[in-house]
């Protein structure tokens, strides 16, 4: 979608940033060079009268993005998960960005539900409430199923939101190209990468079938977790623009007075929310990446209920093992091992000195372990760790940034429930259990089993691969006799059904 509207939108964006006082905040956070600063001010200052005023009670960046509308609010939310890009100060401002907009009429939501699900609304829901929550992309209604009277939550995308986002994202790409043009040396900005990341996140959130799928996968992973439950997805009443979940009935996790009045143990809740997050991140590699109080409730039976699955984090198995070893090393205060893990994983370039890196890590860990239990923060540790590793040439890993950001949020939730919680005491058994299962002898047997299964899939191709290898050998000018090693590889390949071994033999011998 190209056209003059992109230029007009950028001018209004610049004007709003100037009018709200956010322009310099944003430019400083991105360490913008002089030429880019000149261009940005040139697009904003002469047209301040075109800019939106926003809410003067908000911080400048939050005020500007909220005034500019849904796409900018969502952009701010995504940037809040990337302090490596925007810096800690701006990320902190954006983290508290109010994702609240005026709701659209109930009648429009009902019409949208009927269009998407292809049925008259009364046949699906006997009751359909006014909006109970309205955000940048969608809003939520409480409804009652006509078939059995169950209460559900119905999430409906805003009318025309896809077109509005597409138009704004198109303008964001133009802005990124301008940054590339006027600041070619500012590699830290990575403008196109930032916009592409945002574009991917938004495309996912604009298809509620993907959020329904995330909720379903998360449910499968956690169905046996004691004291934790998720509202079930109602697939027959969900589609691209509508998602229906079971109603989460409980006390908001941010209301300590209500939690106390209901007789729940806040100390246990604080420990549980932290323990569950670590279990999901380490055990499953798939975790709720937006676990603030607004997305958590306490059920009448004391279970924690999580909802809103628009932002989920994923960590592959190898990275989980590395992360667990790093945490475990810090828990044991074995800084040399933590340093070695970074080198073994390739996180820190091999030309760096491992002993010097270990001493830098000690400077990170020891002050934290000298703190009172109420001050010890795993999120702070990870933040300091990223600062040190950056000095030693470690490249940014987006999945670990999201993990660290979520860890900070979860710690805040745990401490709001139990101010004297000892984060390390809670984390230690979870990390130790994962280490035993994933890095010891049991893990080796499991890895070998998985490798054998992968190799076995080459079994049907084994005769053809052997024939191909033999023909290739026979047409060489001076054919080499098959060595003992080659024969051994072929025997092993036959025994395990592993054509992969034959390929390796062909390459190596």
Catalytic residues: 290
Cα angle, residue 241 at apex, residues 237 and 245 outer, rounded to 5°:
40
The dihedral over CA atoms of 28, 32, 38, 41, expressed in degrees to the nearest 10, equals -40
SS3 266: helix
Residue 233 DSSP symbol: B
Place of tokens 């010890």: 376
Whether the CB-CB separation of 364 and 378 falls below 8 Å is answered with no
Whether the CB-CB separation of 505 and 493 falls below 8 Å is answered with yes
| Long-range interactions of 370-374: CB distance < 8 A, separation 24+ | 373/420, 373/421, 373/422, 373/425, 374/415, 374/419, 374/420, 374/421
Place of tokens 């600041």: 183
Q: Which residues pair with 373 in a beta bridge?
A: none
Q: Which two tokens stand for residue 287?
A: 């975790």
What spatial distance separates the first Cα and last Cα of the chain, rounded to whole Å? 55
**Beta-carbon count within 10 A of 267 CB:** 14
Residue 440 DSSP symbol: S
Helix or strand run (H / E) with residue 472: helix 462-474
Helix or strand run (H / E) with residue 304: strand 304-306
Instruction: Give dist(CA 164, CA 77) in Å, integer.
Output: 17
* Residue 230 neighbours by CB under 8 Å, 6+ apart: 215, 218, 219, 222, 305, 306, 307
Q: What is the CA radius of gyration of the chain?
A: 27
């Amino acid at each position: 979608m190209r056209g003059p509207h992109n230029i007009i939108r950028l001018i209004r964006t610049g004007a709003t940033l100037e009018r709200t006082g956010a322009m310099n905040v944003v430019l400083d956070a991105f360490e913008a060079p002089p030429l880019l600063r000149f261009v940005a001010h040139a697009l904003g200052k002469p047209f301040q009268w075109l800019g939106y005023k926003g809410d003067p009670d908000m911080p400048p960046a939050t005020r500007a993005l909220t005034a500019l509308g849904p796409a900018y609010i969502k952009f701010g939310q995504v940037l809040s998960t990337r302090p490596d890009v925007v810096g800690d100060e701006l990320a902190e401002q954006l983290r508290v960005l109010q994702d609240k907009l005026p709701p659209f009429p109930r009648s429009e939501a009902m019409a949208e539900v009927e269009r998407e699900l292809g049925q008259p609304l009364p046949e699906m829901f006997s009751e359909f409430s006014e909006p109970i929550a309205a955000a940048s992309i969608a809003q939520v209604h409480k409804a009652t199923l006509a078939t059995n009277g169950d209460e559900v939550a119905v999430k409906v995308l805003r009318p025309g939101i896809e077109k509005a986002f597409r138009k704004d994202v198109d303008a964001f790409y133009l802005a990124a190209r301008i940054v590339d043009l006027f600041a070619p040396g500012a590699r830290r900005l990575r403008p196109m990468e930032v916009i592409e990341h945002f574009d991917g996140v938004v495309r996912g959130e604009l298809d509620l079938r993907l959020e329904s799928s995330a909720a379903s996968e998360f449910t499968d992973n956690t169905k046996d977790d004691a004291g934790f439950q998720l509202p079930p997805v109602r697939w027959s009443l969900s589609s691209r623009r509508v998602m229906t979940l079971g109603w989460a009935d409980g006390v908001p996790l941010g209301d300590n007075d209500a939690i106390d009045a209901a007789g729940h143990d806040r100390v246990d809740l604080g420990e549980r929310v932290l323990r569950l997050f670590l279990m999901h991140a380490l055990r499953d590699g798939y975790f709720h990446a937006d676990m603030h109080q607004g997305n958590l409730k306490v059920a009448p039976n004391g279970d924690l209920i999580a909802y809103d699955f628009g932002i989920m984090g994923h960590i592959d198995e190898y990275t989980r093992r590395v992360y667990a070893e790093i945490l475990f090393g810090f828990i044991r205060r074995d800084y040399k091992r933590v340093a070695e893990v970074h080198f073994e994983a390739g996180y820190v370039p091999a030309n760096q000195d491992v002993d010097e890196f270990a001493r830098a890590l000690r400077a990170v860990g020891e002050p934290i372990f000298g703190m009172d239990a109420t001050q010890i923060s795993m999120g702070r540790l990870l933040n300091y760790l990223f600062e040190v590793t950056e000095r030693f040439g470690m490249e940014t890993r987006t999945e670990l940034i999201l993990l660290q950001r979520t860890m900070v949020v979860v710690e805040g939730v745990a401490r709001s429930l139990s101010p004297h919680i000892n984060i390390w005491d809670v984390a230690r058994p979870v990390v130790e259990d994962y280490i035993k299962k994933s890095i010891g002898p049991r893990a080796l047997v499991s890895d070998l089993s998985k490798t054998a299964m992968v190799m076995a899939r080459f079994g049907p191709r084994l005769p053809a691969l052997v024939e191909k290898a033999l023909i290739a050998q026979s047409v060489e000018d001076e054919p080499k006799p098959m060595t003992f090693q080659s024969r051994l590889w072929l025997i092993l390949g036959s025994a395990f059904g592993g054509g992969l071994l034959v390929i390796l033999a062909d390459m190596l011998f």
